[in-house]
Amino acid sequence: MHQVQPYSLFTDYDIHLFKAGKHYKLFEKLGAHLVTVDGVEGTYFAVWAPSAKEVAVIGDFNYWNDGEHQLNVRWDSSGIWEGFIPHVTKGVRYKYKIHSHHDGVVTEKADPFALFCETPPNTASIVWDHNYKWKDDEWMQKRKEFNDLDKPYSVYEVHLSSWKKKVAENRSLTYKEMAKDLVKYVKMMNFTHVEFMPIMEYPYDPSWGYQITGYFAPTSRFGSPQDFMYLIEEFHKNDIGVILDWVPSHFPADGHGLANFDGSALYEHPDWRKGYHPDWKSCIFNYERNEVRSFLISNAIYWLQQFHVDGLRVDAVASMIYLDYSREEGEWEPNMFGEREYLAAVSFLKEMNEAVYGNFEGVQTIAEESTAFSGVSSPTYLGGLGFGMKWMMGWMHDTLQYFKKESIHRKYHQNDITFSLNYAFSENFMLPLSHDEVVHGKSSLFGRMPGDEWQRFANLRTMYSYMFTHPGTKLLFQGAEIAQSEEWNFQHSLDWHLLKYDYHKGVQTLVKDLNKLYKTVPSLYEKQFSHEGFEWINFTDGNSSILSYIRKGYDEKDDVVVVCNFTPVKRENFRLGVHKSGKLKEIFNSDLKKYKGSGVRNTRALKTDEISWDGKEQSFEITLAPLSVMVFAFL
Q: CB-side exposure of 533: number of CA atoms within 13 Å?
A: 21
Q: Do residues 193 and 310 touch, judged by C-beta distance below 8 A?
A: yes
| CA quadruple 307, 309, 315, 318: dihedral sign | positive
Q: Is 395 left (phi over 0), alpha (psi -120 to 50) or beta?
A: alpha
For residue 108, what are the β-bridge partners? 97
DSSP 119-140: PTT---EE----------HHHH
The CA distance from 430 to 475, in Å, is: 7
CB atoms within 10 A of CB 601: 16
Tell me, what amino acid is at 372?
Answer: A
| Distant-in-sequence, close-in-space partners of 75: CB < 8 Å, separation ≥ 6 | none
Nearest to 367 by CA among 300, 420, 415: 300
Biggest CA–CA distance in the chain, Å, is 91
**Average pLDDT over every residue of 67-73:** 94
Q: What is the pLDDT of residues 308-363, one digit of tens each?
A: 999 999 999 999 999 999 999 989 999 999 999 999 999 999 999 999 999 999 99
66 is catalytic: no
Q: Report how far residue 467's alpha carbon sits from residue 596's, in angstroms, rounded to the nearest whole number.
A: 19
Q: Are 146 and 192 in contact (CB under 8 A)?
A: yes
**CA nearest to 204, candidates 163, 247, 259, 252:** 252
- What are 492-524's pLDDT values in tens digits? 999 999 999 999 999 999 999 999 999 999 999
* Range 148-152 average pLDDT: 96
Residue 2's pLDDT band, with cuts at 50, 70 and 90, is low
Question: What pLDDT digit, counting tens, does each position of 170-180 carry?
Answer: 899 999 999 99
| % of the chain beyond a pLDDT of 70 | 100
> DSSP string covering 46-105, please?
EEE-TTEEEEEEEEGGGTT-TTS-BPEEPTTSS-EEEEEEET--TT-EEEEEEEESSTT-
| Closest CA relative to residue 319, chosen from 248, 387, 388, 379 | 248
Rounded mean pLDDT, 476-501: 96
Residue 345 to residue 351: CA distance in whole angstroms: 10
User: Bridge partners of 549?
Assistant: 536, 562
Peptide bond into 152 cis (omega under 30): no
How is the chain split into domains, by residue range?
12-126, 151-524, 531-634
The mean pLDDT value of the chain amounts to 96
Q: Using alpha carbons, list the distances in angstroms from residue 218 to 303, 509, 577, 595.
A: 10, 33, 53, 38
| Strand, coil or helix: 37 | strand
In this structure, the dihedral spanned by the alpha carbons of residues 487, 489, 492 and 497, taken in order and rounded to 10 degrees, is: 10
- What's the pLDDT score for residue 168? 83
Q: pTM (2 decimals)?
A: 0.96
CB contact at 8 A, 432 and 482: no
pLDDT tens per residue across span 268-316: 999 999 999 998 999 999 999 999 999 999 999 999 999 999 999 999 9
Q: With beta carbons less than 8 A apart as the criterion, state whether 312 and 366 touch.
A: yes
- What are the phi and psi torsion angles at 53 (to 5°)? -105, -10
Residues ≥6 apart with Cβ < 8 Å to 610? 581, 617, 618
Residue pLDDT, tens place only, 377-400: 999 999 999 999 999 999 999 999
For 319-323, which contacts have Cβ atoms below 8 Å and span 24 or more sequence positions?
Answer: 319/249, 319/250, 319/277, 319/279, 319/284, 320/248, 320/249, 320/284, 320/287, 320/345, 320/348, 320/349, 321/345, 321/346, 321/349, 321/369, 321/373, 321/385, 322/371, 323/273, 323/274
Residue 98 pairs in a beta bridge with 55, 107
| Greater pLDDT, 444 or 167 | 444
Q: Are 353 and 299 in contact (CB under 8 A)?
A: no
- Which of 157, 288, 368, 513 is catalytic? The answer is 368
Q: Assign domain 12-126 to a CATH class.
A: mainly beta
Cα–Cα distance measured from residue 64 to residue 377, given in angstroms and rounded to the nearest whole number: 48
Strands 534-538 and 165-166: unpaired
Question: Rounded to 5 degrees, what are φ and ψ at 517?
Answer: -60, -50
Confidence of residue 450 (pLDDT cuts 50, 70, 90): very high
551 pLDDT above the threshold of 60 = yes
pLDDT tens readout for residues 181-216? 999 999 999 999 999 999 999 999 999 999 999 999
Catalytic residue among 288, 315, 398, 427: 315
DSSP state of 607: E
Question: Within 10 Å of residue 198's Cβ, how many Cβ atoms?
Answer: 23
At 341 the pLDDT is 95
Contact 548, 466 (CB under 8 A): no
Task: From the options 3.40.50.150, 3.20.20.70, 1.10.1500.10, 3.20.20.80, give the CATH code of 151-524.
Answer: 3.20.20.80
Q: What is the pLDDT of residues 588-600, one digit of tens each?
A: 999 999 999 999 9
Domain 531-634: assigned CATH number:
2.60.40.1180
Query: How does residue 104 score in pLDDT terms, banded at 50, 70 and 90?
Result: confident
Q: Are 407 and 568 within 8 A, CB to CB?
A: yes
pLDDT of 5 over the 90 cut? yes
Percent of the chain that is helix, strand, coil (3-state, to 5): 30, 25, 45
| The two domains 12-126 and 531-634 share their CATH topology (first three levels equal) | yes
Averaged pLDDT, 536-554: 96
Active site residue 315: yes
Q: What is the C-alpha separation between 30 and 226, in angstroms, rounded?
A: 20
CB 162 within 8 A of CB 171: no
Q: Which residue in 201, 206, 235 sits closest to 221, CA to CA?
A: 201
Tell me the sheet residues that pair with 157: 195, 477
